[in-house]
Amino acid sequence: MSVGLLGLLDDIAAIAKVAAASLDDVAGQAAKAGAKAAGVVIDDAAVTPNYVIGFAAKRELPIVGKIAVGSLRNKLLILLPVALLLGYFLPTAVTPLLMLGGAFLCYEGAEKVLEAVMPHHAHHEAQLQPTAADAGSVEDEKVASAIKTDFILSAEIMAITLAAIPAGNIWTQALVLALVGFGITVGVYGVVALIVKADDAGVALARYDGTSFIGAGIRSLGRALVRGMPVFLAVLSAIGTAAMIWVGGGIILHGIEKYGPPMVGRMVHAATEAAAHALPFVAGIVEWSVEAAISGIVGLLVGAVAIPAVQYGVSPAWKRLKGLRQQA
């Protein structure tokens, strides 16, 4: 074998190593960025099953599939290019937009807390009314409503992801955004599909007619699924609400550290370090817990301020604007 061919093979091997390292780097960045979007992801998984309530069992999975396709379209065809353009041409706008999205998460989370604590005083958004004449049109309206809601959550996921990616090659950023967007969508709506069909599976198992000990166990499992799904959805919704407040508060807190007085960041770090010194054998867990608790408090405060601001300021202004557009 000639020396030239050996050199060529060495070059190819080196290129392959660089490519593999790049792929590992993309995968690592995607995993870290996806973890930071966990609060939005949990809430998305908790909210979406509500959109199939009232439909025949055979239409549940097709509806979830339509929403998943719409979510992918939101993330990959609209939000990904916008995020890349912002990151490349106007990177200073990313953090303020992220803080605005964080405030929205705090508002949504605080609204859910208020609804749970004081249901008669909570502000309820208008629900979609099925005015269509046939079931197909009602389904289309439900899917469209779900995709619109998903757009807001997807925008926050992509913004969090972009903020978590180190500045650098735009193609690497695009790959990470696409990987996170695709992975989160598949994961969320895969879980949603399992959730919405779990009660049907439970009914089928509960009707199993085997007379053996195993048959009795299968029927017990089915009954447990049917009885447990409402509790599971309630717990998932509570976790999603807490995660929204925590993530939103954390985003606001990091923005304040960047643009606000330096003492805010120093106070948070001092609190986490003091807690870690008090319990050194679980220092990492304690630091994370204290920071999450502070982020949660900030999130609740921001949400408490946002609720009246939206109810008495933003919402009436939006209604007037829509009225003027309709008159024009």
User: What's the mean pLDDT in 215-235?
Assistant: 83
Higher pLDDT among residues 150 and 121, named by residue: 150
- Reply yes or no on whether the pLDDT at 301 is more than 90: yes
Give the pair of three-digit tokens for residue 322. Answer: 């829509």
Q: What is the pTM of this model?
A: 0.68
Contacts of 276 (CB under 8 A, 6+ apart): 283, 284, 286, 287
DSSP state of 121: T
Nearest alpha-carbon partner for 178 in 79, 35, 45: 79
Does any domain span residue 223?
Answer: yes
Task: State the total domains in the chain.
Answer: 1
Q: Distance (Å, rounded) from C-alpha 247 to C-alpha 245?
A: 6
Other CB atoms within 10 A of residue 177 CB: 26
Q: Identify whether 286 is part of a domain.
A: no
Question: Quick check: is 292 in a domain?
Answer: no
Cα(304)–Cα(271) distance, integer angstroms: 24
In this prediction, residue 22 has a pLDDT band, given cuts at 50, 70 and 90, of: very low
Domain range for residue 34? 12-233
Residue 275 is assigned to a structural domain of this protein = no
Residue 153 lies in a domain: yes
**Inside any domain, residue 289:** no
52 inside domain: yes
Is 46:123 a contact under the CB 8 Å cutoff?
no
In a domain, 276, yes or no: no
Percent of the chain with pLDDT over 70: 77
Give residue-wise pLDDT tens across range 246-275.
888 888 888 888 887 888 888 888 888 888
